[in-house]
Amino acid sequence: MKKYFNYNGRFFADDKNVLSKDDRSYRYGDGVFETMKLINGNILLRDHHFERLFSGLEVLKFHIPVLFTKQKIEKEIKELGKKNECERSARIRLSVSRGNGRLSDCDNKFSYLIECWPLEQKGFNENGLIIDIFPDARKSIDVFSNLKSANYLPYVMAAIWAKENRLNDVLILNQHDRICDSTIANVFWIKDNNIFTPPLSEGCVAGVMRKKILELATLNPDYLVQESVLTREILLQADEVFLTNAIAGIRWVKEYRNKVYQNTISGKIFPLLH
């Protein structure tokens, strides 16, 4: 079956080249992206995704066209899912670039690209993940830290290191040598039935699933979710650890070095998010 993508509102066959060599997302990582889950023609956590997207564009001082609206993008995402025959379950990537040009000068021709792939629905990962901490980078904490930026180098190198060391994922340290997130997820831990995650001030990406889990504290009295710093020592003392993102929801961590974690509460939270 022929596959398609959407570039600036137009559909193209998957083998069509549309990006310029001068595109600033390619040259400098000057852009943002969203990875979304389409289920039965609907975008899960739609409002959280669009809130993060437009907030990021504002922080990066993008010139946003009047016609680039949440309604327009949602419509085009659904159309692409239908065109690629995967609207029942799909992974969506929306990438936004500032345009073409050199570092100090660009044409400010806002452009966006929507891609869509079939996605296999998966349940709770009973086998658990094996993780470690990436030793070769420290993420800086600034106004850009929480963005889903196209400038993704520390996470790329961390993912390569994880693969080389036969790990499922690795955790990223911030400039204070504390844990902020993982290569593709936010991190949560559980101690004495209390759920914790690093605050955005620790430099983690502002994950949409992270935000949804924080909302559990107001929606479900059985779970107390708090923001707190995460160190190596705290990680070793935790009863449970899990990673979250928009595609997988929750992924339980089984092992960090010599520490083995339970999954009692993690398994109960998983169905609440799907």
Domains of the chain are 4-118 (3.30.470.10), 129-273 (3.20.10.10)
Q: What is the mean pLDDT of residues 185-209?
A: 96
* Separation between Cα atoms, residue 81 and residue 90, nearest integer Å: 7
Lowest mean pLDDT among 3-12, 65-74, 78-87, 95-104: 95-104
Enumerate long-range contacts of 41-50, CB under 8 Å, 24 or more apart: 41/78, 41/81, 41/82, 41/87, 41/88, 43/74, 43/77, 43/78, 43/92, 44/246, 45/208, 45/209, 45/212, 45/246, 46/74, 48/208, 48/211, 48/212, 49/208, 49/246, 50/74
Structure confidence at residue 154 as a pLDDT band (50, 70, 90): very high
Q: What is the mean pLDDT of residues 145-170?
A: 96
Q: CA 26 → CA 94, 135, 144, distances in Å? A: 15, 27, 18
pLDDT per residue as tens digits for the range 32-46: 999 999 999 999 999
pLDDT per residue as tens digits for the range 89-120: 999 999 999 989 888 888 888 999 999 999 99
Predicted model pTM: 0.94
Give the three-state DSSP class for 155.
helix
pLDDT exceeds 90 at position 180: yes
pLDDT per residue as tens digits for the range 199-220: 999 999 999 999 999 988 777 7
Token pair in block for residue 121: 């629905």
Token pair in block for residue 64: 């946003």
pLDDT per residue as tens digits for the range 207-264: 999 999 998 877 777 788 999 999 999 999 999 999 999 999 999 999 999 999 999 9
Q: CA 256 → CA 33, 38, 153, 183, distances in Å? A: 30, 32, 24, 15
Structure confidence at residue 272 as a pLDDT band (50, 70, 90): confident
| Residue 104: predicted pLDDT | 81
Mean pLDDT for all residues in the chain: 94
Look at strands 225-227 and 194-197 and give their pairing: parallel
* Separation between Cα atoms, residue 102 and residue 86, nearest integer Å: 38
Amino acid letter, 74 = E
